[in-house]
Amino acid sequence: MTTIEERPAGDGAHGFGRIHRKEDPRFIRGQGNFVDDVQLPGMLHGAILRSPFAHARIVSIDTSAAEAHPRVRAVITGATLETLSLAWMPTLSNDVQAVLATDKVRYQGQEVAFVVADDRYAARDALELIDVDYEPLDPVVDARTAMDEGAPVVRDDIEGKTDNHIFDWEAGDRAATDAVFTEADVVVTEDMLYPRVHPAPMETCGTVASMDKVTGKLTVWSTTQAPHAHRTLYALVAGLPEHQIRIISPDIGGGFGNKVGIYPGYVLAVVGSIVTGKPVKWVEDRSENLMSTSFARDYHMRGEIAATRDGKILGVRVRVLADHGAFNGTAQPTKFPAGFFHVFTGSYDLQAAHCEVTGVYTNKAPGGVAYACSFRITEAVYLIERMVDVLAYELEMDQAELRMKNLLRPEQFPYTCATGWEYDSGDYPATLSLAMDMAGYQELREEQRAKRERGELMGIGISFFTEAVGAGPRKHMDILGLGMADGAELRIHPTGKAVLRLSVQTQGQGHETTFAQIVAQELGIPTADVEVVHGDTDQTPFGLGTYGSRSTPVSGAAAAMVTRKVRDRAKIVAAAMLEVDPSDLEWGHGTWGVRGDPKNAKTIAEIAMAAHSNLELPEGVEGHLDATCVYNPPNLTFPFGAYICVVDVDPATGEVDVRRFIAVDDCGVRINPMIVEGQVHGGLAEGIGMALMQGIAFDEDGNCLGASFMDYLVPTALECPSWELGETVTPSPHHPFGAKGIGESATVGSPAAVVNAVMDALKPLGVRHADMPLTPAQVWRAAQGRPLRTDLAIS
C-alpha cells in the first residue's frame, strides 16, 4: 500500500491531469439542484422567530394570533418540543443545545418559535403575531471576564452549574517546556486574538423534510457536509429507525465547515413535517446564517517563544481562552476539545512545547467549526507564524532567515513533534526557497529599504504552514462515537463503464471530477466513463463527510483501494479469458496482458463483459467485478506551504493594499492541478478577508455586529492581487497514491502572511502586533500604539 507508482503527467481524460470539471456545465447553465430548488407537491414553508436579546428569561409566549392566521398550519414552541422530548439536542461536542428555547434565550438570534405556513410570506408575517414576554438578563459578552466571580451563568440549565467554565485541556510536556524557557537567552510574549469569523457560504443553510406517514420513511434534503453522520444522529436523537431515514445532500453552495453540524432549523423542518403531514421547507436568510450558525475561531491566545540569541527556536508555550458561545457545539474529534490546535509547533524543530486551553460559555452563537480549517489548525498556524515574526522583531533578524534556520530538514521525516504529531513527509527549505525566488525576496527587501528612507510603508510577510488533514485513524478519532473511516463502492457495468459511490459530499470541491480521475488513473479507463454518486445516504456507503480537507486523504484513498480491488478481480477474470495463470499477467494502463506477449491482452471493458458472461471462472470467483472497501487512514497527511505577501500601507489613512501574493503549496501528488489551484485561489481570498476585514464583534448588550453583508465583509476581486502560485511535490508515504489534501491549506496559511506583511510595514513605527481584522482604523490606531480590541464594539 505504501508504494508510490511513477505516473506520467496526463491530460486528465484518462487519469490525473488538468481537465474541466464535470460539474461545471450544470452550474454554468443554472441547472444545479440546491436545497431551495427542491419543490414537492403540497410543500409548506417554515420560518423561525429568533430572540432579539442575548440573554433573557422567557416569561411567556402567546402564539394564538399567529395560529389564527388563515395561512398558518402550525406554530411550534419549546413547550411543544418538550412533549416530544426534542426541546434539546446533542451538539458535536457532547453538550446539548436548545432546538427551541424553553427556559431562557442565551444569544441574540436564538430560535424561539417555528411557524409552518402555506408560503414564505405568510410564515414570515406570522412571526410578528407571536408575542414573547422576555425578562432581560445581564449578558456575558467579554470572554475575558466570563470566569470572573459573579459573572452571570449562561448555562443554568446544566444541573449544579455555577460558572461559565466548559473545559481545561492541555498538550505537550509542561515541565520540559518550562525548563527550556528557564534556560533560554530570549523569551518573547505576545497576546493575540483570532477573532470570531464566519464561513459565510454563498448558499445559506436549509432543509426540506418529508415524512411519509404511510411508509414511515423520512426523506430530508439538507445542506449538509456529512449526510451519513446526520442520518445516524437523527436516528439516535429522534428515535426514528435509521433504515427509514434518507438524507440527500444535493448541490451545495459552499460549506467551509458551516454545514457540518445539525441546526435547530433542520430539526424543526422534520418536526414540522411530522406535525402537519406535509413536506416542509425551511431555508434561512443571510442574517440568520451570520447570526446563528456556526462561527469559527474566537481564540484569545497568549504565545511565548524561547530562543537562543542567534535565533535557534527552542520552545513555544501557549495559553488559550476559547470562546465557545452559549452551547459547546464545536465540531472536532471527541478526544480533542481544542481540535488539532496542538500542532502549533508548526514547521519547526522545537525541543519542547506546551499549551493549555480553557473553553468558556458566553452569550453568543454556538459553533466553533473549522472555517476551511482542519480543526483549529488555522489558529495554531497563526499563533506560531506570528510568534516567529515577533521573535524576529526582537532579535532584529530577517524573517526568512529566522525561518530557514529553524525549519525541519527533509532527513528528519517522519518527524514526531513536541506535542506528539507524526509529520509524514516534506522538504520545507526547498519550498520556502522556491517561494522566495518567485517573490524576488532580496529585491523586495531592497525596495523596502529605499521606501523606508522616503517614509513610505511597505511590508513583506512570510507564513510557512504545516497542515494536519485527513481525519482520521479510527483508534484516535471519532465524532460522537462514529469513527472517521470512509467506505467506497465501485460497480463496473458489463460494457466497462464505472459507477463510484462515495460517502463524502462535494460543496464545490469538484469531487465528481477528481474521484472519476482516481478511478480512471487506477483502472485505465476514460475519466468520462466514471460516474460519481454521492450525497444520498440511500445510494452510498457510510462515511463521516467532507471537512477538514479529508475527502482526498480518506475517501480518495478509499476510491483508489476499491479500484485496486476491482483490478485484482479483473486479473483473475483475464487469466481465465487468456487461459493462463494470473501470475503470468502484467498490468498495462487499462489492460491485463501476458508477460512478454503484449498483443495477448484484455482491456477492462473486455474483462468486464466476460465477468458478466458465461465464461467459466476459477473456483471461488462468482463473477462481476464490483467491489467495496472501507479505508481507515493509518495517519493524517501533512500538506505544507510557503506564502509571501507584499503590502503597501498608507500611513495617514491606514489603508492596506495587498500588492502581491506568492503561494507555494505542497499537497503531495495532485490529481487535477486546475482544481487544486482553484481551491488555493479561494482560500487565499478568504485569508485576505480574515486578515483585513472580517470579524464578528458584539456590543455590551450582546448584539451581534456582523449580521449582514453590510457589516460582515467578504473580499472582492478588487482586494485580491493576481495570485502567483507555485508547487513542490512531496508524496505522502502512507497514502495509496501519495496525495495529501488541499482544500484548506490556503485559508490556514494565508492570514498570517497578510498580518505579518502589515506588521512588517509598520515596523519603523515600533509596531509589533495588532489583532485582525486590520481595517484601516485598526492599522491607524496600531501605528499610534493604541490598537483596538476587535471582539468588542468600537467605542
Partner 1 sequence: MQVPAHFGYDRATSIDHALRLLARHGDQARVIAGGHSLIPMMKLRLAEPEALIDINGIDELRGITVSGDELLIGALTRHADLLSSAVVGEHFPVLHDAERVIADPVVRNFGTVGGSLCQADPSEDLSAAFVALGATGVIRGAAGSRTVPLREFHLGPYETAVAPDELLVEVRVPIRPGGSSAYTKVERRAGDWAVAAAGAAVWLGPDGAITDAGIGLAAVGAEHFTAPEAEEFLRGRAGDDAALVEAGKIAAQHCDPQADQRGPADYKRHLAGELTTRALRRAVARASGQEA
Q: Which residues bind partner 1 (CB under 8 A)?
A: 36, 120-121, 124-125, 128, 283, 285-287, 652-655, 692-693, 697, 705-706, 710-711, 713, 715-716, 718-719, 775-777, 780-781, 788, 793-795
Q: Smallest distance, Å, CB 685 to partner 1?
A: 12
Q: Classify residue 34 as exposed, middle or buried by CB count within 10 Å of its CB (0-12, 13-18, 19+).
A: middle
Q: Smallest distance, Å, CB 385 to partner 1?
A: 24
Nearer to partner 1, 284 or 522 (CB): 284
Is residue 361 within 8 A of residue 324, CB to CB? The reply is yes
Q: Smallest distance, Å, CB 126 to partner 1?
A: 12
Q: Is the bond preceding 264 in cis, omega lying within 30 degrees of 0?
A: no
Interatomic CA distance for residues 278 and 723, integer angstroms: 49
What phi, psi does 562 have (nearest 5°)? -70, -35
- Strand segments, DSSP code E, in 566-703 are 585-588, 591-594, 597-603, 627-631, 640-649, 656-666
Nearer to partner 1, 435 or 788 (CB): 788
Nearer to partner 1, 187 or 777 (CB): 777
Q: Which of 535, 532, 519, 531 is nearest to 570 (CA)?
A: 519
Nearer to partner 1, 202 or 793 (CB): 793
Q: Smallest distance, Å, CB 775 to partner 1?
A: 5
Q: Classify residue 631 as exposed, middle or buried by CB count within 10 Å of its CB (0-12, 13-18, 19+).
A: buried
Q: Classify residue 739 as exposed, middle or buried by CB count within 10 Å of its CB (0-12, 13-18, 19+).
A: buried
Nearer to partner 1, 117 or 594 (CB): 117
CA 152 vs CA 23, 140, 298: distances in Å: 50, 6, 20
Q: Smallest distance, Å, CB 152 to partner 1?
A: 25
Helices (H), 285-395: 286-292, 377-395
Nearer to partner 1, 422 or 719 (CB): 719
Q: What is the chain's alpha carbon radius of gyration, rounded to the nearest angstrom? A: 27
Nearer to partner 1, 308 or 784 (CB): 784
Is residue 374 within 8 A of residue 471, CB to CB? The reply is yes
CA 28 vs CA 23, 25, 217: distances in Å: 9, 5, 34
Q: Smallest distance, Å, CB 99 to partner 1?
A: 22
Nearer to partner 1, 68 or 793 (CB): 793
Q: Smallest distance, Å, CB 721 to partner 1?
A: 14
Interatomic CA distance for residues 424 and 444, integer angstroms: 33
Nearer to partner 1, 234 or 661 (CB): 661
Q: Smallest distance, Å, CB 653 to partner 1?
A: 5
Q: What is the largest CA-CA distance in the chain?
A: 86
Q: Smallest distance, Å, CB 290 to partner 1?
A: 12
Cell of 20: 474541466
Q: Smallest distance, Å, CB 745 to partner 1?
A: 24
Q: Return the residue matching grid coordinates 518573547.
A: 188
Q: Smallest distance, Å, CB 74 to partner 1?
A: 19
CA 50 vs CA 202, 208, 274, 324: distances in Å: 22, 20, 22, 20
Q: Smallest distance, Å, CB 714 to partner 1?
A: 8
Q: Which of 189, 732, 253, 771 is nearest to 467 (CA)?
A: 732
Nearer to partner 1, 175 or 710 (CB): 710
Nearer to partner 1, 178 or 719 (CB): 719
Is residue 358 within 8 A of residue 165, CB to CB? The reply is yes
Q: Smallest distance, Å, CB 707 to partner 1?
A: 10
Q: How far apart are the first and last CA of the chain?
A: 59
Q: Return the residue matching grid coordinates 454563498.
A: 202
What phi, psi does 233 have (nearest 5°)? -65, -40
Nearer to partner 1, 117 or 331 (CB): 117
Q: Which one-letter amino acid corresponds to residue 560?
A: A
Q: Smallest distance, Å, CB 777 to partner 1?
A: 3
Q: Smallest distance, Å, CB 677 to partner 1?
A: 24
Nearer to partner 1, 199 or 553 (CB): 199
Interatomic CA distance for residues 106 and 110, integer angstroms: 7
Nearer to partner 1, 240 or 252 (CB): 252
Q: Smallest distance, Å, CB 776 to partner 1?
A: 5
Give bridge partners of residue 76 from the DSSP assignment.
114
Q: Smallest distance, Å, CB 773 to partner 1?
A: 8
Nearer to partner 1, 206 or 459 (CB): 206
The DSSP code for 721 is -
Interatomic CA distance for residues 780 and 1, integer angstroms: 55
Is residue 334 within 8 A of residue 94, CB to CB? The reply is yes
What DSSP string describes 482-515?
Answer: EE--EEEEEEE-TTS-EEEEES---SSS-HHHHH
Angle at 258 between CA 485 and CA 666, to 5 degrees: 60
Nearer to partner 1, 175 or 652 (CB): 652
Segment (H or E) for 577: helix 557-578
Cell of 192: 493575540
Distance of CA 93 to the CA centre of its chain: 16
Q: Which of 663, 656, 748 is nearest to 385 (CA)?
A: 748
Q: Return the residue matching grid coordinates 443571510.
A: 286
Nearer to partner 1, 499 or 777 (CB): 777
Pair type for strands 352-360 and 313-323: parallel
Q: Which one-letter amino acid corresponds to residue 112?
A: V
Nearer to partner 1, 422 or 655 (CB): 655
Q: Smallest distance, Å, CB 27 to partner 1?
A: 20
